Amino acid sequence: MEETPRTSESPPLHSTYENDPDLRDLVMRFVDELDGQVQSIRAACLSEDFATLRRISHQLKGAAGGYGFDPIGDCAARLEDDMLGDEIDISDLSERVEDLITTCRAAVRPADS
């Protein structure tokens, strides 16, 4: 999957912990693993595997905040909330998925010190 170039609509997203020497390596690992998460999210959406999509969004909701990426956690929470109802609106779901993917791709690794 090709990297989507950043646009003015998705400025770089920095962790609130990127300058914390105790968390820096963990933040870097989290960002490095986001591409795999994005691929899993897209695959689950395309195959309408809602259980996997719900699981990934739930995991990201919790983890993103812990690594200082609240916007990712917020997008993941909205996606998870949309999936809690009895009926899932595919067009709304697709929009939430794209929002989450765009936000994940905006995350940047802490700059080398």
Per domain, the residue ranges of the chain are 24-106
- Residue 107 pairs in a beta bridge with 13
The predicted-structure confidence for 25-40, as pLDDT tens digits, reads as follows 999 999 999 999 999 9
- Residue 13 pairs in a beta bridge with 107
One of 1.10.10.10, 1.20.120.160, 3.40.1170.60, 3.40.1160.10 is the CATH number of 24-106, namely 1.20.120.160
CA distance 53 to 59: 10
CA distance 23 to 42: 28
CA distance 34 to 59: 12
The predicted-structure confidence for 65-94, as pLDDT tens digits, reads as follows 999 999 999 999 999 998 887 777 777 888
Burial of 1 (0-12, 13-18, 19+ CB in 10 A): exposed
